[in-house]
Every structure is written in C-alpha cells, then in structure tokens.
Amino acid sequence: MDFLFDLLQGAGIAAAIGIRPFLPVLLVGALAAADLGIDFDGTDFAFLEQAPALAIVMLMLALATYAVRRSGPDAPERSPYVFIFGALAVILGALQGAASLADRGHPIAAGLVVGAACAALGFVAVRDLLTRTRRRLDAETAGTLPLYAEAAALAAAGLSVLFPPLAIVVVIGLVALLVGGRRRSGEKYAGLRILR
C-alpha cells in the first residue's frame, strides 16, 4: 500500500509539473527540504530539494518560457520551443516520480515511467485547453490564462504531496480535458466537412 501511495504522489506531482513546472518544482523542493509529506534526503534525488539545483531548473524553465513568448501569439501551436518546454516538464516529472518512490526505498523504475507519462499528459492536455481558450478571448484576458494554470499546478502538486490519493482526481481530470478537447475538435472538423 505504501508503494501505491508513493507512486500516486509522484504521479500527481508529475502531472502538476506538466501543467506548469515553475511553482510545483519549487513547492515540492520546499516541502522536501522541510520534510513535510516528502523527503529526498538520503536518496539519489536529494538535489531536488537543494537550492543550487532548484535555481538551475528555474533558470532553464525561465529561458524556455521566454523563448516561447518571444515566438509570438501562435507559439503554443507553432513554436519548436514549446516542445523543448514540454521535454523539460517530462524530464522533471520523471525525476519527481522516481524521487517519490526513492523517498521510502522503493525501486524507482515505475516512478520514472509514470512520472514521465503524467507530466506528458499534463502538458498536452493543458496546452490544448489553453490554445482553444486563447482563441476565444481578447488579448488582455488571454494574458491571464497562465496565472490560472500556475494556480492549478500549485494546488495539484501540494495536494498530491500531502494527500496522495487526490492524484487520481488530478490525472482523471487531465484525461477528461484531453479527450473532451479532442472530441470537440473532431466534431468541429466533421461539421466543416458537412458544410462543403
């Protein structure tokens, strides 16, 4: 049962990192440093709670974010930097998933796989949602969308650390977002084909 809870914790953290990696990485690092719900000391992942590594991660993510924003308003659909940002999120998600298992001495392989998959899910589901939503909003309102994503990511990470079973809700919610968005896109294109 401990293994399942630790795997869920890693999955929830990784999904949150996929949504928006900045605040979840900092929050989990701070919680691990304070030994609140998670602790990386004594594992190969102790660097995830140390200031130098967190600073490097934040610098990399800030540079990726800057590059995406410089690409213009259509960046989420067209910029190659978006995929670099996604790759960073997947790597960080895999590390956090493995670290969550290593915290209690479990083998880390499942954490690496589940962490990477959940981070990729979070990235793709939220990127699609934000892209669809941005198209319907004026520029000023669309500029606030990242704040909502940051808040959702922060809540998902914190709740997953403090109460791991809630990670199931986070992952199911992301799957529902992704499937619902793809279905709506398919219906829209089917409607356009009928009009021809």
pLDDT < 50 positions in the chain: 75, 189-193, 195
47 DSSP assignment: G
pLDDT per residue over 120-165, tens digit each?
999 999 988 887 887 777 777 777 787 888 899 999 999 999 999 9
pTM of the model: 0.86
| Amino acid type, 42 | G
Write down the domain spans for the chain: 2-195
Comparing CA positions, the residue from 113, 132, 109, 116 lying closest to residue 178 is 132
105: left (phi over 0), alpha (psi -120 to 50) or beta: left
d(CA 11, CA 93): 8
